[in-house]
Amino acid sequence: MSEHFTVESNDGDARAATLETRRGPVRTPVFMPVGTQATVKAMTPAELESLGAQIILGNTYHLHVRPGEKLIARLGGLHRFMAWNRPILTDSGGYQVFSLAKLRKITPEGVRFQNHLDGSPTFIGPETSMEIQRDLGSDIVMLFDECPPHPCSHADADKSLDLTLAWAKRCRAWWDAQPAEGRPLVFGIVQGSSHADLREKSARALVDIGFDGYAVGGVSVGEPEPEMFAAVENSVPFLPKTHPRYAMGLGTPPQILEMIARGVDMFDCVLPTRLARNGTAFTAGGTLNLKNAPFAEDTSPIEEGCECYACQNFTRAYLRHLVKAEEILGLRLLSIHNLHFYLGLARQAREHILAGSFQEFRRRFVAGYKTRSDTP
């Protein structure tokens, strides 16, 4: 056990645990809705709380570019700014620097780039990323890493990993120079692309440096699903059982259960809200594209038995009408349903781990879930 992470129950490699943050406990496995620009898209904080969201994610890159962490700090921090009083995890900005920004120039100091909004020259390095996350008031800070593209040769991935590990040491040193009082949790990120030996090297090196938790990064970047599973399988055995594990940016509902089975505790993913804006709903049987004609007179809810506000009050026929008419209420109701689905999936996983029935739950769920060609 670490002082901030208590494993309550194991079921195979899956575990139910409690992560203590400075803003209270998070019960794991946990799904963290993504609040990129200081809002989980289309949702109020009150709605998120009523759906049982324990912790949300904020994006350092986006908030740095607009409205800026200094402004947010002057206004009392990100929690107060967006009126969210539960824990917030912030990413480091690394992923967005490598996926959104233009004219990147990487040096040992960090990354110079033109931001995606107005092309202004911007710099983020390991220390800057820590400062931004400190200014935002993050409860769980991620270290600043380089995110190599997929696929990536062994030589390139190794070189990138060395830079990431050098940055990891500087992030650790930056926090060690801060007052210990009220310090957030700081998580390392395992990289190494699809190369098993580099995943092991990365994980071992991070554990040597010492972090409060460990994420697996560089997954869900376009690789086939077996490679995604392999990246986690090649990382987790080298991470301490006493610390939380976080698979970044994942995934479909079956992927999340498979990751929990492999010992992952924390997840974030834009799928529930992004697909909602595209008219797609998650169900235990797979996704439904509500634009499709067969739903035009379908008086059933999205999913029978679902207790979310959308399913308790509205038919598929009505939701289809809203989606076709591009009404905001349509994507709102689908966002509510999809977040309820994802948050509930993690909650059910936890309950089954505590009851010792997780493996059977996962097997049944994955078998019943049909992945459609039009959705992930």
Residues near a copy of itself, by CB under 8 A: 37-39, 41-46, 66-67, 71, 74-75, 81-83, 296-297, 299, 309, 313-315, 317-318, 321-322, 324-325, 327-329, 331-333
Please list the residues that pair with 215 across neighbouring strands.
189, 246
CB of 325 to a copy of itself, least distance (A): 5
CB of 247 to a copy of itself, least distance (A): 27
CB of 60 to a copy of itself, least distance (A): 15
* Cβ-based nearer residue to a copy of itself, 76 or 285: 76
Q: Among the options 197, 212, 268, 374, which is catalytic?
A: 268
Q: What does the H/E/C string look like for 71-136? A: HHHHCCCHHHHHCCCCCEEECCCHHHHHHCCEEEEEECCEEEEECCCCCCEEEECHHHHHHHHHHH
Q: 162 catalytic, yes or no?
A: no
* Cβ-based nearer residue to a copy of itself, 101 or 322: 322
Coil, strand, or helix at residue 215?
Answer: strand
Q: Is 108 left (phi over 0), alpha (psi -120 to 50) or beta?
A: alpha
* Cβ-based nearer residue to a copy of itself, 134 or 332: 332
* Cβ-based nearer residue to a copy of itself, 43 or 231: 43
Q: 176 catalytic, yes or no?
A: no
Please list the residues that pair with 289 across neighbouring strands.
280
CB of 335 to a copy of itself, least distance (A): 9
Q: How far, in Å, are 30, 59, 162 from residue 340 at the CA level?
A: 12, 22, 40
Those residues whose C-beta lies under 8 Å from the C-beta of residue 252, and which sit 6 or more positions away, are 271, 369, 371, 376
Q: Among the options 11, 91, 139, 212, which is catalytic?
A: 91
Q: Which two tokens stand for residue 214?
A: 């460990």
CB of 61 to a copy of itself, least distance (A): 13
* Cβ-based nearer residue to a copy of itself, 241 or 324: 324
| Closest C-alpha to 8, from 360, 361, 350, 359 | 350
Q: Looking at the annotation, which residues are catalytic?
A: 91, 268
